[in-house]
Amino acid sequence: MSDSSSKAPVNPEKLDKLAQVAVHTGLGLEPGQDLLITAPLTALPLVRKITEHAYKAGAGIVTTFYSDEEATLARYRNAPDDSFDKAANWLYDGMAKAFENNTARLAIAGDNPMMLANEDPEKVSRANRATSKAYKPALKKISGFEINWNIVSYPNPKWAALVFPDLPEDQAVEKLADAIFAASRVDQPDPVAAWAEHNANLHARRDWLNEMNFAALHFTGPGTDLTVGLADGHKWAGGASPAKNGITCNPNIPTEEVFTTPHAHKVNGKVRSTKPLSYQGTLIENIEMIFKDGVAVEVTATKGNDVWNKVLDTDEGARRIGEVALVPHSSPISQSGVLFYNTLFDENAACHIAMGQCYSECFVGGDKMSEEEVTERGGNSSLIHIDWMIGSGAIDIDGITQDGERVPVFRKGEWA
Amino acid sequence: MSDSSSKAPVNPEKLDKLAQVAVHTGLGLEPGQDLLITAPLTALPLVRKITEHAYKAGAGIVTTFYSDEEATLARYRNAPDDSFDKAANWLYDGMAKAFENNTARLAIAGDNPMMLANEDPEKVSRANRATSKAYKPALKKISGFEINWNIVSYPNPKWAALVFPDLPEDQAVEKLADAIFAASRVDQPDPVAAWAEHNANLHARRDWLNEMNFAALHFTGPGTDLTVGLADGHKWAGGASPAKNGITCNPNIPTEEVFTTPHAHKVNGKVRSTKPLSYQGTLIENIEMIFKDGVAVEVTATKGNDVWNKVLDTDEGARRIGEVALVPHSSPISQSGVLFYNTLFDENAACHIAMGQCYSECFVGGDKMSEEEVTERGGNSSLIHIDWMIGSGAIDIDGITQDGERVPVFRKGEWA
Ligand SMILES: [Zn+2]
Ligand SMILES: [Zn+2]
Ligand SMILES: [Zn+2]
Ligand SMILES: [Zn+2]
């Protein structure tokens, strides 16, 4: 069509709905609450829509902090060596202070996943470490759910080019935008209502799993025969949940998973990945692992094998798992068949396990437990947390009760 | 020419030079120093260039905080009423903390001057008050010269449309960019060297005026016969000056003025404005005032008379002057003939006086003086500080020595 080039690649009506989902479903923003947004500059159209809907919802002050790929690269290419051990402490301390004062937090994901692929890995790791250290007090308030928070995505052109390498930029952005909209349920007539229904479904699954209080899950499928023992006193989570400030939020848009903490010493058998894993610019494919008493004792991948094995050498906990998550094969993200190169999406396309750190919230009474208690109950501890996909339309899962009985949980990739 | 539409409206080589002038002449950035940039989103190309040159100069971390006209307007049009008494305190407190730790500060000016012209003036004033209050600790470190700082400009399309209303947007931006480049001396072969020479000239004028230690200046010209008594122990300033962290900076790019503090009770005679004054979206033209013992007792303007008189009712000090500044008629900004609707430029096009607050730095030993001492010596105090232009190619200025002798300072708008 002759007028297709004049069409905006990101549908403005759906973008408006995504902003509404982020503000209402994602954050549950309350009147009078301030909002802090972090976003790449490329997400400007979504930031503006979210700002509008946040104020309409009664926000006090909306403040956006933008990151810019070009400025980041200018640093890697021009800054003196000691720059890479520094961070803007004043900014991260300020964010922590904002959260202390009940400011809600919204992050827009959508950076170029390959942004740093050509930079000096040692500088990248030093800069990440310095930023992580500076960000820790603020991140603790987010991951500890002191305030309501949400992550939502916007299609960066370079991200789109990675996902749809054969399309011209405009079409790739349009397709990625549509995939984000579908995964975020904003292609539905009333997205906020669709999310309410979806949350109710996730909560029903979560509550059933908590009632069953399985001792273990047994995964079987092509290349997979894996028993995942669950942590003592584990608790399943998924869907909307209340933050400690009393506001119910959906931290991730999209989200399709119910998940809990496995027992770091009770994982046995073999498992094969069902989708490629994108890790910091490297694609890792066809992972196969054999677990013995929680440790991955044999690890191979047909692509990215070295990178993957090196990551698992990070620390002792990196070869054990800290999360097991159930996602039906019929989830919209899985059905799209798109590999997003972005965990926010890819982990919601299939059942997955995560190497490394567990979630202390996934224990009964977890918010009051010491690190020692978490470890005692089988919670894993590591500097990494990397989800990788083990689910498909061919996977069966049995729950094994505390009495040793088997209960069907998944059959052919769907809830039994 | 057929390829003129593909030309970037802002010349990239000159932009690169402007960034170098900002980093080296404006800030005098030192290796290892962090840098905080504030900028409208429209100034992105200049921010990127400044970031690059700051890192090349050895910057530690460069952090940019962007403002967005659309987000600001979304607030005015959608936020609940009590939003307008709020500010992002965590951000401004963080900035103050950054300056405490010797972070340099660069502001890029270039917002749409008419941005808030259609918004509720009461909300605008409440929001300004709340922001001013939150920003005060940070601003105190800037205006108190605790750290090196600089303001430089980038052509916003809406600003360009106001300055060149008869041109299409691209051409207006190009013309405004060229006017900014010329005023900032980046049209010269070696701009940093040109600034060194210009600073030397300004310092020579400043030093001569300080040596003369005039009791008053007498301005004569069409409609003007004004005697401006100078404050007791006044000190002239202008050009590059050392901040308290020991780094010499040029706070304003461009700058053409040498300026000092007049005596708030010793201004007498009549004065007529020589250029229109742009004040918060209102144009004020052909101001005429009669001063008696420091107070403007008669005030008229052929355009904007009501706004101007209302501003002068702000407080007791608003009808007295707090600054007198000398700018030759041959200054590049004056020669361009462009009215910028931006004080950073327009005040550097002509000799000017400012209604309201004086600069305490413009006293010998001013950095250690109490407010009472400043008042005692004739320094004015007010919530406002508004420069307006009284210079032209027809103005003569005599200095009147402490002994009552007359010394030519300006003849026909130029240094005598
Ligand atoms: Zn997960
Ligand atoms: Zn995970
Ligand atoms: Zn001035
Ligand atoms: Zn002034």
A41: chain B residues, CB-CB within 8 Å = 41, 44, 66
**Does residue A203 belong to any structural domain of this protein?**
no
**Does residue A114 belong to any structural domain of this protein?**
yes
A103: chain B residues, CB-CB within 8 Å = 90
Q: Does B79 share its domain with B9? A: yes
Q: Does A45 share its domain with A154? A: yes
Q: Which ligand is nearest to the CA of A258?
A: 1
For residue A162, what are the CA distances in angstroms to A167, A340, B396? 10, 8, 68
Q: Does A79 share its domain with A120? A: yes
Q: Does A296 share its domain with A340? A: yes
Supply the pLDDT for residue A199: 97
A77: chain B residues, CB-CB within 8 Å = 55
Q: What is the pairing mode between strands B241-242 and B248-249?
A: antiparallel
Whether residue A97 and residue B93 make contact (CB cut-off 8 A), yes or no, is yes
Q: Does residue B232 have a pLDDT over 90?
A: yes
- CA-closest candidate to residue B163, choices B338, B11, B281, B43: B338
Q: How confident is the model at residue A8 (pLDDT cuts 50, 70, 90)?
A: low
Q: Does residue B2 have a pLDDT over 80?
A: no
Residue of B46, B53, B78 to mutate, testing the A interface (most A Cβ within 10 Å of its Cβ): B78
The residue of chain B nearest to residue A88, with distances taken between CA atoms, is B61
Supply the pLDDT for residue B4: 38
- Name which of B52, B58, B89 is nearest A80 (Cβ-Cβ): B58
- CATH code where residue B20 lies: 3.40.1830.10
**Does residue A376 belong to any structural domain of this protein?**
yes
Q: Which ligand is nearest to the CA of B259?
A: 3
Whether residue B48 and residue A70 make contact (CB cut-off 8 A), yes or no, is yes
* Mean of pLDDT values over A26-39: 98
Cα–Cα distance measured from residue B249 to residue B243, given in angstroms and rounded to the nearest whole number? 7
**Does residue A202 belong to any structural domain of this protein?**
no
Q: Does residue A1 have a pLDDT over 50?
A: no
- What φ, ψ does residue B226 adopt, rounded to 5°? -125, 130
Q: Does A263 share its domain with A164? A: no
**Closest CA of chain A from B130, distance in Å:** 11
* Mean of pLDDT values over A240-254: 96
Supply the pLDDT for residue B278: 87
Mean pLDDT of chain A: 94
- Give me ligand 2 centre to Cα B407, in Å: 79
Residue with tokens 């947004």: A37
Q: Which ligand is nearest to the CA of A351?
A: 1
Say yes or no: B97 contacts chain A, CB-CB below 8 A.
yes
- Name which of B60, B91, B93 is nearest A63 (Cβ-Cβ): B91
Mean pLDDT of chain B: 94
Q: Which ligand is nearest to the CA of A259?
A: 1
Give me the residues of B, 315-344, that contact A with CB < 8 A: none
Say yes or no: A94 contacts chain B, CB-CB below 8 A.
yes
Q: Does residue A163 have a pLDDT over 90?
A: yes
Cα–Cα distance measured from residue A272 to residue A350, given in angstroms and rounded to the nearest whole number? 13
Q: Does residue B56 have a pLDDT over 70?
A: yes
Say yes or no: B133 contacts chain A, CB-CB below 8 A.
no
Type of residue found at A375: T
Q: Does A168 share its domain with A27? A: yes
**Does residue B189 belong to any structural domain of this protein?**
no
A101: chain B residues, CB-CB within 8 Å = 89-90
Q: Does residue B358 have a pLDDT over 60?
A: yes
Whether residue B83 and residue A75 make contact (CB cut-off 8 A), yes or no, is no
Number of alpha carbons in the 13 Å side-chain half-sphere of residue B275: 29
**Closest CA of chain B from A82, distance in Å:** 7
Q: Does B179 share its domain with B282? A: no
- Name which of A74, A97, A103 is nearest B55 (Cβ-Cβ): A74
Q: Does B296 share its domain with B377? A: yes
For residue B80, what are the CA distances in angstroms to A24, B35, B44, B83? 17, 35, 30, 6
* Mean of pLDDT values over A183-208: 96
Q: Does residue B114 have a pLDDT over 90?
A: no
Q: Does A301 share its domain with A410? A: yes
* Mean of pLDDT values over A134-158: 93
Q: Does A154 share its domain with A269? A: no
B71: chain A residues, CB-CB within 8 Å = 47-48, 51, 62, 64
Whether residue A55 and residue B79 make contact (CB cut-off 8 A), yes or no, is yes
In chain A, what's the furthest Cα-to-Cα distance? 67
Domain membership of residue A76 as a residue range = 4-183
Greater model confidence, A153 or A144: A153
Cα–Cα distance measured from residue B366 to residue A227, given in angstroms and rounded to the nearest whole number? 77
Q: Does residue B126 have a pLDDT over 50?
A: yes
The percent of residues above 70 in pLDDT, for chain B, comes to 98
Q: Which ligand is nearest to the CA of A357?
A: 2
Supply the pLDDT for residue A22: 98
The string over B385-414, giving b where at least 16 C-beta atoms fall within 10 Å of a residue's C-beta and e elsewhere, is bbbbbbbbeebbbbbbeeeeeeeebbeebe
The residue of chain A nearest to residue B87, with distances taken between CA atoms, is A61
pLDDT tens-digit readout, A92-107:
999 999 999 999 999 9
Q: How confident is the model at residue A3 (pLDDT cuts 50, 70, 90)?
A: very low
Q: How confident is the model at residue B111 (pLDDT cuts 50, 70, 90)?
A: confident
Whether residue B51 and residue A75 make contact (CB cut-off 8 A), yes or no, is yes
Give me the residues of A, 170-209, that contact B with CB < 8 A: none
Type of residue found at B103: T
The residue of chain A nearest to residue B41, with distances taken between CA atoms, is A41
* Mean of pLDDT values over B100-115: 93
Say yes or no: B30 contacts chain A, CB-CB below 8 A.
no
Transcribe A110-175 into DSSP letters.
---TTTTTTS-HHHHHHHHHHHHHHHHHHHHHHHTTSS-EEEEE---HHHHHHHSTTS-HHHHHHH
* Mean of pLDDT values over B223-249: 97
**Closest CA of chain A from B416, distance in Å:** 47
Q: Does residue B7 have a pLDDT over 70?
A: no
Q: B186, B14 in Cβ contact below 8 A?
A: yes
- Name which of B59, B78, B87 is nearest A52 (Cβ-Cβ): B78
- CA-closest candidate to residue A22, choices A139, A148, A174: A148
Supply the pLDDT for residue B309: 93
Supply the pLDDT for residue A283: 87
- Which range (A71-75, A405-409, B131-135, B301-305) has the least confidence? B131-135
Q: Does B141 share its domain with B273? A: no
pLDDT tens-digit readout, A278-331:
887 788 999 999 999 999 999 999 999 998 998 999 899 999 999 999 999 999
pLDDT tens-digit readout, B9-40:
899 999 999 999 999 999 999 999 999 999 99
**Does residue B276 belong to any structural domain of this protein?**
yes
Give me the residues of A, 53-72, that contact B with CB < 8 A: 55-56, 58-66, 68, 70-71
The percent of residues above 70 in pLDDT, for chain A, comes to 98
Supply the pLDDT for residue B135: 92
* Mean of pLDDT values over A54-61: 98
Q: Does A322 share its domain with A225? A: yes
**Closest CA of chain A from B88, distance in Å:** 7
Structural domain total, chain B: 2
Q: Does residue B255 have a pLDDT over 90?
A: yes
**CB proximity list for B195: less than 8 A, separation 6 or greater:** B21, B25, B185, B250
Q: Does residue B1 have a pLDDT over 50?
A: no
Whether residue B70 and residue A63 make contact (CB cut-off 8 A), yes or no, is no
- Give me ligand 1 centre to Cα A29, in Å: 24
- Domain final residue, candidates A168, A183, A198: A183
- Name which of B44, B56, B63 is nearest A88 (Cβ-Cβ): B63
**Does residue A251 belong to any structural domain of this protein?**
no
Cis status, amide bond into B254, omega within 30 of 0 = yes
* Mean of pLDDT values over A261-272: 98
**Does residue A188 belong to any structural domain of this protein?**
no
